[in-house]
Amino acid sequence: MVTSRRTPVGRVLAYLESTKNLAGGACGLVGLGLTWAGVAGAYWPVVVAGLYGAGALIAPPARIVTPCFPDPARRLGGVREDLDRLREYVGEVELPPAAEGKLGELLDVYAALLEPGWPAEVLAGEPEAVHALSRAIRLDVPEAVDAYNRARWWTRLNPGGESPERHLERQLSVLSEEAERVTADLRETEARRQQTHTTYLEGRRES
């Protein structure tokens, strides 16, 4: 049974296994050796305890293992697979021509941003852009299409109000604007990178 390090017993066991305790114990053995050699005299308990404490203080702290998170490329691979599934889903829904065209353009932009290679590398370095793209593919677009499909059925039974087609077009317009902002931010990232390299080269020439 594994004892949690957060409990008192777990903390004691963890300390007994730590490098600090091992180093202190080694120094304490040196103190015992000095005692047996007659160097420590009557103060041998103080000597042993002092050497143990010194060894425990100078020993490096235990290294806590860093949690392993999936690298950005693997995360984007999952988003890319979700985009493929989204395309299949959208292909089965009957959409008005205007919305269908706008949605097709939007999905093409997503695909371009997720294209394996340097475009995806730039995207992977921007967590907010990855979040926005993942949210749009996994939540926003499916919800927009599904809501339209359901509302259209009810509208046929009870006409009136703003048409589902109009709502869908408005939603896709907002998502297209968001995609444009993401693309512009990534373009700005590359522009800053280029400018930084120019500044570096010019500074090296002047030095």
pLDDT value for 23: 65
- Render each residue's pLDDT in the chain as its tens digit; 207 residues: 444 556 665 565 555 556 666 666 676 676 666 566 666 566 667 666 776 777 666 666 666 666 665 666 677 888 999 999 999 999 998 999 999 999 999 999 999 999 988 888 888 888 899 999 999 999 999 999 999 999 988 777 677 777 889 999 999 999 999 999 999 999 998 999 899 999 988 888 776
CA angle 29, 34, 35 (to 5 degrees): 95
Place of tokens 């949605």: 103
Count of alpha carbons within 13 angstroms of residue 54, beta-carbon side: 12
Q: Give SS3 for 206.
A: helix
> How far apart are the C-alpha atoms of 92 and 85, rounded to whole Å?
11
pLDDT value for 163: 86
CB atoms within 10 A of CB 32: 14
Instruction: State whether the Cα torsion 171-173-176-180 is positive or negative.
Output: negative
Q: Where are the domains of the chain?
A: 8-58, 72-206
Q: What would the DSSP string read from start to end of 78-136?
A: HHHHHHHHHHHHHHTS---HHHHHHHHHHHHHHHHHT-TTHHHHHHHT-HHHHHHHHHI
Nearest in space to 52 (alpha carbons), one of 34, 33, 29: 29
